[in-house]
């Protein structure tokens, strides 16, 4: 939750007037519970969405979800199936097979060409079958941890949500 990617995206979202909510999955940091491999963590994400949508400052018609790395394994299927989510972003994501194959919500999938944790070829293979609307980007010179590319990434993600959730 406190890594360079999440922090950069959160700050940029704030700059464009979008609220952000970051949280740790079960068993991470001071969160209770234990790691479940991605399926139980979907309940964590749904609880966070429910929490967020109940705040009067939040327009429930303009909620998106983003997941980075393992967070993509959780956020992408939740975003695809949860009606409260209107736009979905995955950053260097683990994409569960077929998770977005029938999802017609706006999608941004972005990764680095030099990612040796989740190779761009894996991301592109799964993203290929996703229906429109979708934006798929592979940034040259970027590894899994986005060192030095956080600002560019944050601008792309915030811009995607600003455009996708407008109205």
pLDDT-derived band at 89, boundaries 50, 70, 90: very high
Number of H helices, E strands in the chain: 5, 4
pLDDT-derived band at 1, boundaries 50, 70, 90: low
Whole-angstrom distance, CA of residue 60 vs CA of residue 64: 10
Count CB neighbours of 16 within 10 A: 12
Residue 116 confidence (pLDDT): 97
By CB atoms closer than 10 A (0-12, 13-18, 19+), residue 23 is: middle
pLDDT-derived band at 9, boundaries 50, 70, 90: very high
Max distance between CA atoms of the chain, in angstroms, equals 42
pLDDT digits (tens, 9 = 90+) for 94-142: 999 999 999 999 999 999 999 999 999 999 999 999 999 999 999 999 9
**Residue reference for tokens 């799964």:** 126
- Say whether the peptide bond before residue 143 is cis (omega within 30 degrees of 0): no
pTM of the model: 0.93
Residue 6 has pLDDT above 60, yes or no: yes
Residue 40 confidence (pLDDT): 82
Q: Which domains, from first to last, does the chain contain?
A: 4-164 (3.40.50.1820)
DSSP of 92-155, one letter per residue?
A: S----TTTTTT--S-EEEEEETT-SSS-HHHHHHHHTTPPSSEEEEEETT--TT-TTTHHHHHH
Closest-CA residue to 145 (of 108, 118, 105) = 118
pLDDT digits (tens, 9 = 90+) for 14-41: 999 999 998 876 556 565 666 656 688 8
**What average pLDDT does this structure show over 37-49?**
87
């Amino acid at each position: 939750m406190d890594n360079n990617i999440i922090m950069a995206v959160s700050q940029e979202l704030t700059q464009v007037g979008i609220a952000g909510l970051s949280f740790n999955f079960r068993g991470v940091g001071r969160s209770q519970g234990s790691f479940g491999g991605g399926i139980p963590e979907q309940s964590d994400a749904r609880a966070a969405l429910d929490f967020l949508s109940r705040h009067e400052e939040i327009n429930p018609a303009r909620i998106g979800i983003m997941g980075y790395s393992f967070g993509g394994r959780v956020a992408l299927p939740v975003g695809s199936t949860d009606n409260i989510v209107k736009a979905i972003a995955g950053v260097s994501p683990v994409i569960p097979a077929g998770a977005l194959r029938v999802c017609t919500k706006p999608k941004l999938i972005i990764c680095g060409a030099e990612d040796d944790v989740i190779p761009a070829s894996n991301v592109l293979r799964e993203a290929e079958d996703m229906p429109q609307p979708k934006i798929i980007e592979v940034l040259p010179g970027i590894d899994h941890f986005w060192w030095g590319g956080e600002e560019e990434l944050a601008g792309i993600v915030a811009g995607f949500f600003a455009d996708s959730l407008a109205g």
